[in-house]
Chains A and B, each alone.
Chain A
């Protein structure tokens, strides 16, 4: 055993002192390193550590590599960082003060630190140097090598005057065997160690260990100074039977078992599937005993854990417990890396089949609905039914092949498109409810409003968001990738159906695409824009046809037409005057429609035919006539999604910065200007460019007071200089502009083309693309869920983490390119939060069982610190509130262990008799016994110096770590 190493034997084979051998170089290198780290002499800056400073303070380390020939060693200096105490220590500093490490041996301030280096635990040192073989080097096993190393240290220490203890690691790494020494003025301390697999029976108790200690220090004076003893027993509780955590069994089957509403799809699951707290360690400590005060030998022991004055508890958490929310998220994330297309996943046959069938039926359907003017409105709901019937047929046909059964698929689709659930008497009510719905929801959404723009996801009530939640759950619970591909296909089909049948997509904020949301959301909004415009066009045509019929009979049909228009789309208005042509277009305007009828009246009265007036403009008159200036109905600019926008700006940018480039760009963008001019011309017969500019760009019409011929002051206006530049864009456009109202102009926004583009884009998305699109939404959902769950637990660390996570997420999500590695790290962070919450819940359930109001608060604090601190003191030890709960846990676990095979009834009957036999606690999993004294060594007349023996008794380990000091003055 290396424990018996005799460091005095300084017998080396040194033949030549003039040439530095490998060994000499090694020693001097050690000295160098010690010097570098300024470990020489007794530093006045250090002081003895205070009570529990080992835990509260920070430990640091310096590291260096040194070589012995070609053998690598790692030398590390571990130390407790201390604030510099610049007291007037100089005076106190004695020449031959005992080194700090030796003082540490006796200090009781930091016995059994909950978290520390093993050497700290064993020897109580607050600074030390360790030399251990490099990571790839073999262990130092042979005795001669050990001794060589130890003597090197001795030399280095005495040469350098370093008072920090130096240890070398010997034997195999896992044994954690160290030997070392510390040199001080007139004293040396040897650190020795015994390590056995089994506890020898004679040393299996305090009295045996005391014998070892005493024989080792071999004190010759009498009476022998008393040995002070500190003992700590650790008990482990692994059986939680009766204190299980409060997670309800995850309902994997319920959401779709019965007729549970699709709402279930909107909820992300949460919680652990297994006990997140694996073990509870109870340490019962007797911090200060004196020899003779307690008896602990092979037949009897005074050491009853219940009577221990100090109880501390720590919990062991299950490593990576399976947590539902985290699983859903990470499983979904995994889809991002799958290369296959939906067709490849679902099998070609099915996809083709579906596609064909779809195109057949939908074209048949669109034939039905296309000449919508002739189809009475109420019949539209019939096509709705046809639609669902078609789905049903198809689903039944594919039931055996498709990854999702019809029931589940229906629930999913109903969840995604709840508007399809209710049979609507007519399309109109649907429109209305939708319109009234959207603003209400956006109000409610204001809190998380910020979050979706930060994450670039989508509002939490939007279709996109629901789709993300839904697909993640489908992936997790209902068939994985194939099911996701299937749902996506169905989703795209539904979108096409809606486009072809003029049904708005439910659950999207109106207006042009919100660039703060994810691209998929923008695309959906774009599709909605297309549907809206197409519908408006179709409806207008319908109304017009009706109007035309009437117009044959009565000339004042205009009013009727307008009112019916209003009925169709509340809040929207357009001019319904047209002789329907091929390029017929009705443009919507955002303005209120109140003016419209008036406009019509006036117009019919006017002699010249003006078209597409919206309202009068600031009661201005045209310059060249007495006619009022009208604002025309104009075409709305085309809505853009960010990819279109990018495309367009790239095109614009490619034209370069030259003058021609600028001109070309202006020309490319002049379509809108031209259209507005044409509308203006149509609304204001006889107008000139000046009139247009007065409305469109008022600052380019300059009015000045001029003295006219008669000598009176007159306001005279003219175009600004820049508008007068010959051949400028505006003049040019004005000259080419025809007199055409907006509704008869070429469409600025080709909704059919755009819609097809969107639908094509959607259809081309692979499941992985879809996943990537939706990931921000799912992360959004996860964060919301964590917030919600945390709210009931109030865990500070999670609260802080949540804030950090949001900003981290926004940084990750704002960049278009996804960094998978960082995403994964990020997702792990979210999972960690979930785990902590489940741990807190589990502990709460275990400790808050007794609902005595007085204890509750204390218990809650206790539970919280269990999660945050490495080790928590149990107030009142075994008698305190928490202590008694822990006691009961152990008791019931003990009983369960003993009585496991017995029935409950028997159990109760026997309880009284059994309980006396079964001990409350299991046998301790670990015992630590610390013996300390201060005796003169090696001779009775030597200085009395600290001696220490730390014993660890585990089931399969027996370790004695001794530090024995001796006076070197006369030896």
Chain B
């Protein structure tokens, strides 16, 4: 948790070879394909049936971004209502969220608003969220039009992807986009950090007295 918090996940465990570690959470209703999505990305494999996740599970993938090794620790969560309290506890350390629904399931889409509220309540202020409509290979059974997903994501201020873990559509792109957003946010926050580092050098200076420089002749 807090380990990932530490100054934006800069390396703090010496046992791993990476420059940054990003913690990412995949959330969404039960059986929208969170586990499949993760397996597709981490192992590039697909099985039509994964055992329903109990509690929380994770996978690791290391990627490169501008010569930096970024270790992604991706936590896969159980979608069942009953697990909400357990999984939301993990929200706080996460730097990115993939909020997933199933385009063939109206309920899972309707729950997105709810999940997003959960993120706002329990996560870090600057956690980044992507909205993902999964199972876009099952066009025949689609009940959530692509536009609706887009609309909702605009409304929530998230970026949006339709994906298929089965046909490997947009899976990698989703993760990479999320990493990019986190990186952007990180450098932004580092830039903003400068006034913190330099103290009062920016903004109006309170200590600054109407003092003349050394030529002051007390007159």
Contact = CB atoms under 8 A, between A and B. Distances in A.
Contacts of B85: 512, 636-637
Given A645-B1, A721-B48, A829-B199, A699 B86 contact: no
Interface in A246-288: 281, 283
Nearest to A235: B219
A114 B210 contact: yes
B155 interface: no
A662 B192 CA distance: 40
A422 interface: no
B209 A816 contact: no
B207 to A, nearest CB: 5
A815 B5 contact: yes
A925 B3 contact: no
B160 to A, nearest CB: 23
A924 B57 CA distance: 80
A281 B211 CA distance: 11
Given A807-B192, A957-B217, A801 B206 contact: yes
A176 B200 CA distance: 30
Given A234-B218, A673-B54, A697-B52, A114 B212 contact: yes
B212 to A, nearest CB: 5
Interface in A903-924: 924
A797 interface: yes
Instruction: Give the dominant DSSP class at A's interface.
Output: helix
Interface in A782-810: 796-798, 800-801, 804, 807-808, 810
A696 B82 contact: yes
B152 interface: no
Interface in B105-149: 105, 107, 122, 124-125
B7 interface: yes
Contacts of A233: 219
A650 B3 contact: yes
A700 B49 contact: no
B91 to A, nearest CB: 8
B219 A954 contact: yes
Interface residues of A, number: 96
B31 interface: yes
Interface in B153-186: none
A815 B58 contact: no
Contacts of B217: 926, 928, 952, 954, 957, 959
Interface in A655-678: 657, 662, 665-666, 668-670, 672-673, 676
A696 B49 contact: no
A800 to B, nearest CB: 6
B51 A798 contact: no
B51 A666 contact: yes
A599 interface: no
Contact of A835 (B203, B204, B206, B219): B206
Contact of B82 (A670, A676, A927): A676
Interface in B70-110: 73, 80, 82, 85-86, 89-90, 92-93, 105, 107
A282 to B, nearest CB: 10
B218 A797 contact: no
Contact of B52 (A114, A454, A700): A700
Contacts of B49: 720-722, 725
A116 B212 contact: yes
Contact of A666 (B2, B7, B53, B193): B53
A669 B56 contact: yes
A115 interface: yes
Q: Max chain A CB contacts within 10 Å: which of B2, B210, B213, B218?
A: B210
A245 interface: no
B81 to A, nearest CB: 8
B17 interface: no
A836 interface: yes
Interface string A718-734: 00111101001110000
Contact of B30 (A117, A119, A699): A699
A869 interface: yes
A230 interface: no
Contacts of A954: 217-219
Contacts of A926: 217-219
A833 B211 CA distance: 18
Contact of B203 (A315, A645, A800): A800
Given A115-B213, A645-B1, A696-B82, A722 B51 contact: yes
A728 B213 contact: no
Interface in A89-140: 114-122
B212 A115 contact: yes
A822 interface: yes
A722 B200 CA distance: 59
A668 to B, nearest CB: 8
Contacts of B196: 808, 811-812, 822, 826
Contacts of A804: 195, 202-203
The list of the 6 closest CB pairs from A to B, nearest first, reads A926-B219, A118-B215, A669-B55, A870-B210, A234-B219, A832-B206
Given A728-B52, A870-B212, 14 more contacts: A515-B92, A515-B122, A650-B3, A657-B59, A665-B55, A666-B54, A696-B80, A700-B30, A700-B31, A728-B51, A816-B5, A926-B218, A928-B219, A954-B218
13 contacts: A118-B214, A176-B215, A316-B209, A637-B86, A657-B58, A665-B55, A665-B57, A800-B204, A815-B5, A815-B7, A870-B210, A928-B219, A952-B217
Interface of B: 1-3, 5-7, 29-31, 42, 48-60, 73, 80, 82, 85-86, 89-90, 92-93, 105, 107, 122, 124-125, 189, 192-193, 195-197, 199-200, 202-204, 206-207, 209-215, 217-219
